[in-house]
């Protein structure tokens, strides 16, 4: 069998680098992987700045993994030593302060980039057929990032780390029947303790990163299988040239490689400025209370998660007993609306009605308290993003060709989301709670009414080929 295998023949005067690559290619498809995934991957030629954030997310992932490896070399996952080990990294380890600030800034940068990446998908309909699976993989990545950030949040063992973890874990206690046991299982003890720290460290350093890397690979493979979307929402594979590639496509390398390098340069400039001059970012990236060691006997006056969780945390906090009556009225109105305006089958409408009636009964104060429904809405605010491919019934993908008033709908949604994010960082005054409740209704209305409003209005004709003006 060995005699039948022949190495690729190259001229005798070929460069040694070419010979080395040919030797590897005969044994491992290195060049093929590069060409399939980037080098000869043809992408639409009308990409704009919104398409930089995918590659930036990959860059930040690498930064987080590398800096995390160096941090684990000195970090002690022990309740009695964790805070001191972080201080040791900051004060005694050569360049340890830089690695720690790169990691903490990278966590916030990761969510900024991912939120912008998701915004691009929302604006240009990148979740629409045939890219539903790409969106679902991306949503799973988002869930993993939230879990990774949550597990890593406890590790500095500061005041906000300790009490933030205590509050979030206790939320699971609101689940009927299994809540208390589930909270106990997550903590590993009756309170947040050394056992909690050890299991959170294991999840943050080993379990979640492995799952995250697998999902990123699946996300990229699915993307390159069906092709990238573009600002016009046109399927470029439907109009092929003589070479078998789309007439409106260009090779990713070198055309988008150079653009990505420019985006990376701009990102690193901003990232470095934050790392060196404002790593705490006014308490949003690193809370001031987290520079105090965890004290189970002293509760901070205001406990709030890091900024990237606050939009969903505001939904949880806005769910008061009085607000539940508004939710009940909204659920009833939504069911009536489905019966009057939906084209769903009779059986589906009946099933939705039955579920709604059971939910209405559960929302009564005598049955389940508002804390439980706050957890439900908290989780629903995240999970509802996964259903976008089936909620959007617009005949076009891109916002460019939708009615102009659709842009105002998106604008209201983004303002509501940003407002929820801000309110989550503030003390819950009556006025702020009322505003958070209004924004919560706007947030869910955007998705739940999308099957109707997304198909309404006068749509602009979509061109046959992409619109592109070279710079």
Assess whether 270 and 357 both reside in one domain: no
List phi, psi (to 5°) of 9. -85, 125
Assess whether 245 and 313 both reside in one domain: no
User: Whose CA is closest to 374, among 224, 228, 231, 170?
Assistant: 170
Q: What is the pLDDT of residues 228-275, one digit of tens each?
A: 999 999 998 888 888 888 888 999 989 999 999 999 999 999 999 999
Q: Which residue has 């305006």 as its token pair?
A: 341
The answer to whether residue 98 scores a pLDDT higher than 50 is: yes
> Other CB atoms closer than 10 Å to residue 374's CB: what's the count?
21
Q: What is the pLDDT of residues 302-332, one digit of tens each?
A: 888 889 999 999 999 999 999 999 999 999 9
Answer yes or no: are the C-beta atoms of 265 and 90 closer than 8 Å. Answer: no
Mean pLDDT of the chain: 91
Assess whether 85 and 219 both reside in one domain: yes
| Rg (the chain; Cα; Å) | 25
Contacts 24+ apart (CB under 8 A), 465-471: 465/234, 465/239, 465/247, 465/248, 466/44, 466/45, 466/46, 466/230, 466/231, 466/232, 466/234, 466/236, 466/248, 467/46, 467/232, 468/45, 468/46, 468/248
Any domain includes 221: yes
Any domain includes 19: no
Could you tell me where the beta strands, DSSP code E, fall in 211-362? 249-251
Assess whether 95 and 244 both reside in one domain: yes
What average pLDDT does this structure show over 432-438?
Answer: 96
- Burial class for 203, CB neighbours closer than 10 Å (0-12, 13-18, 19+): middle
User: Whose CA is closest to 155, among 68, 272, 278?
Assistant: 68
pLDDT at position 1? 43
- Its domain, for residue 429, covers 307-453
Assess whether 276 and 370 both reside in one domain: no
Q: What is the pLDDT of residues 126-178, one digit of tens each?
A: 999 999 999 999 999 999 999 999 999 999 999 999 998 888 888 888 888 88
Assess whether 190 and 80 both reside in one domain: yes
Query: Per-residue confidence at 60, pLDDT binned at 50, 70, 90?
Result: very high
Domain CATH code at residue 378 = 1.20.810.10
Assess whether 131 and 206 both reside in one domain: yes
The answer to whether residue 90 scores a pLDDT higher than 60 is: yes
Between the alpha carbon of residue 291 and those of residues 30, 87, 102, 294, the distances in Å are: 47, 9, 17, 9
Any domain includes 463: no
What average pLDDT does this structure show over 327-356?
Answer: 91
By residue count, the chain amounts to: 471
For residues 352 and 267, give the distance between their C-alpha atoms in angstroms, rounded to a whole number.
Answer: 46
Q: Give the whole-number percent of the chain exceeding pLDDT 90.
A: 69
Any domain includes 22: no
Q: What is the pLDDT of residues 384-421, one digit of tens each?
A: 999 999 999 999 999 999 999 999 999 999 999 999 99
Assess whether 105 and 167 both reside in one domain: yes
């Amino acid at each position: 069998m060995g005699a039948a295998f022949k190495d690729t023949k190259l001229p005798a005067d070929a460069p040694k680098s070419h010979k080395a690559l040919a030797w590897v290619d005969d044994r491992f498809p290195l060049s093929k992987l590069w060409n399939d995934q980037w080098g000869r991957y043809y992408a639409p030629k009308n990409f704009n700045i919104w398409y930089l954030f995918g590659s930036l997310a990959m860059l930040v992932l690498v930064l987080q993994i590398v800096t995390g490896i160096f941090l684990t070399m000195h970090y002690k996952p022990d309740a009695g030593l964790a805070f001191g080990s972080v201080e040791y990294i900051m004060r005694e380890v050569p360049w340890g302060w830089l690695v720690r600030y790169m990691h903490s800034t990278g966590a916030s940068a990761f969510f900024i980039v991912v939120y912008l990446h998701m915004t691009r998908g929302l604006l240009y309909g990148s979740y629409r057929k045939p890219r539903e699976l790409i969106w679902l993989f991306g949503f799973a990545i988002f869930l993993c990032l939230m879990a990774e950030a949550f597990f890593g949040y406890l590790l500095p063992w500061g005041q906000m780390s300790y009490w933030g973890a205590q509050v979030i874990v206790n939320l699971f206690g609101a689940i009927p029947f299994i809540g208390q046991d589930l909270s106990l299982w997550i903590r590993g003890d009756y309170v947040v303790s050394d056992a909690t720290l050890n299991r959170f460290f294991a999840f943050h350093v080993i379990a979640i990163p492995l799952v995250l890397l697998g999902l990123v690979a699946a996300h990229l493979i699915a993307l390159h299988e069906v092709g990238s979307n573009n600002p016009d929402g046109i399927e470029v594979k439907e109009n092929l040239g003589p070479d078998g590639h789309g007439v409106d496509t260009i090779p990713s390398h070198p055309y988008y490689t150079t653009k990505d390098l420019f985006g990376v340069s701009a990102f690193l400039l901003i990232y470095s400025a934050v790392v060196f001059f404002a790593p705490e970012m006014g308490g949003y990236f690193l809370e001031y209370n987290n520079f105090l060691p965890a004290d189970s006997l002293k509760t901070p006056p205001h406990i709030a998660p890091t900024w990237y969780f606050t939009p969903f945390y505001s939904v949880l906090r806005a769910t008061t007993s009085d607000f539940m009556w508004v939710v009940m009225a909204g659920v009833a109105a939504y069911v009536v609306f489905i019966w009057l305006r939906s084209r769903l089958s009779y059986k589906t409408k009946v099933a939705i009605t039955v579920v709604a009636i059971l939910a209405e009964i559960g929302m009564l104060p005598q049955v389940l308290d508002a804390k439980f429904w706050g957890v439900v809405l908290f989780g629903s605010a995240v999970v509802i993003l996964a259903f976008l491919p089936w909620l959007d019934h617009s005949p076009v993908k891109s916002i460019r060709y939708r009615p102009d008033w659709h842009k105002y709908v998106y604008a209201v949604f983004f303002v509501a989301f940003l407002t929820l994010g801000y309110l989550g960082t503030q003390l819950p005054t009556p006025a702020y709670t009322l505003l958070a409740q209004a924004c919560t209704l706007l947030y869910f209305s955007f998705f739940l009414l999308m099957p109707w409003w997304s198909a309404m209005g006068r749509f602009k004709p979509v061109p046959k080929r992409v619109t592109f003006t070279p710079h």
